[in-house]
Each structure stands twice: as structure tokens, then as C-alpha cells.
Amino acid sequence: MKLAALRLLLATVCVSVFIGACKPPSQEAKQAPIVDKNGGAETEPPPAMANGHEPPQIRHHAYDLLLQIDGERPGYGLYTYVLFGRKVGADAPSLPHDVAQRYQALLEAIESSTSTAGDLEAALIPKEETNLFNIPAKSADARPALDSYHSGLALTYRSLALGALRGHDKFGRLLSGGAGPFLISTLRPLNQVRSPEPLLFADLSVHNPAAMRELVAAYKQRINRSAPGKLELFEPLRLALLTLILDANDHVTLIKDAVADWRDTLPDQ
């Protein structure tokens, strides 16, 4: 009974904070939004970049398996790299369980909500209006999964990203020392990026695996609003609160299971 009350109290507090942090949409007049049928988001015309050129308007999302350095498909409006900070698969038998869960949940969230690059190109969707998730992989025939993820290639791209983040110590520390997963979006293939250039950076290492679908959807929505015009950290408050709620639920469940196990050890009366 006490456990149920504790769970209800935690959920009530977290939901109250979550609702309070979600501001209602502005009532000011806005330009007509563009509906993204692939990402499920609404977008607005992007602001001009600092150099006077407008960033690409992203309306679609696709994913592709990246097999080698400089293996990106050319001509896309935005390139998003799915990078893990730790080796996976047979090369990492001691990978912490929660890290592996987070990695797998991100791959599943991208695959389940995103078309392949081949499908979008076959449908003649404009590449310059598409954000391409690049997932390092060992084989073009594999599905996005831990066993097929190319850790060596991912670490090479992480080094390239660190070069693009040179001079930005906060981002560099997160990327070099953290387990991730990370999402890094650039206006051109990462090996062509020179610091400073516009870049969107997401460190998902603190988020609950169960929140990955919402995180991917929110990341797409952020990109749909406008491509990055500067170096930007993606850290929406409402998703941090969602992770807080999910973590609280996990902890209460663990306590409940522990109490149940303890009760099983008690002698019969």
C-alpha cells in the first residue's frame, strides 16, 4: 500500500512539473507552417544564417548505413551522425547494460520512424530538403542493430567531430569522455566540416531508453524548424523531465520487486 502511494506521489509531482514546463503556443501571428509528412512535425521558414545565406529547409528525414569514411550519399540538405562513445558487439563484452539498452533503443527509434535513403530517392523526394541519419555499419545488408554497428568507423567519425568542435571545450568534453549515444548534425559531410561551422549536437547519455522515440521525434522537429545556423546544443527541458518521470518509475519498480523478493524469503506464519 505504501509503495503504491509512493509511486502515485512521484508520478503526480513529475507530471505537474512536466505540464508546468510545457508553455502553450504563442498567440502571435505566424507564417503558414509546412507539414512534414515523414517526421510528423510542423516547420516554419528558417532564419538567415550569419553569413547571409539561408540554411536549407528540411522537410523530410531518411537513414542510411555508413560503411566507410567519406561514404555519405552526396547532395543532402543535412547530415546527422549516430555515434556511440563505446565499442559494441563482440568487441565490447563488458559494455554496461544500461548503455547497451540506450544504444539499441536509439537505433530502433530511428529505424521505426524513418524511411531509408533508397526509398526516399526512389520516390524522388528532394535530397536538399532531407536530413540523412548516417549509422556506421559493417554491412549494407544489415539492419540498424548493435551487432551490425561499426564501432571503429564510429570512433573515426567521433574524432572528426572533435575537430569540428575545436575551441568549444564543453561540447568536446561531452563527446570525448561520454558514452553517448550522440547525434551530430552538419550542413555537409563531417569530413568536410571545419570549425567554426553550424552544428547541432545532442548528448543522449543521460536519457532513459524508453524516451528514445520521443527524443528522435523532437530532434526531427527541431531540424524541421530550421537547420542549424550556429553551434547549438539540443537539450529540450520537456524531454529531460520525461526522463525524470521514467527514471522515477524504474526506481519504484525496482523497490517494489525488491520488497516482493524479500517477502518471499520470510517464513510462513
Give the global pTM: 0.73
- pLDDT per residue as tens, the chain (269 positions): 444 444 444 544 454 444 444 443 333 333 333 334 444 444 444 444 544 457 799 999 999 999 999 999 999 999 999 999 999 987 677 899 999 999 999 999 999 999 999 999 999 999 999 999 999 999 999 999 999 999 999 999 999 999 999 888 888 999 999 999 999 999 999 999 987 889 999 999 989 999 999 999 999 999 999 999 999 999 875 555 555 565 555 444 434 444 344 444 445 54
Q: pLDDT by residue (tens digit) across 2-39? A: 444 444 445 444 544 444 444 433 333 333 333 344 44
Radius of gyration (Cα) for the chain, nearest Å?
21
Q: pLDDT by residue (tens digit) across 77-109? A: 999 999 999 999 876 778 999 999 999 999 999
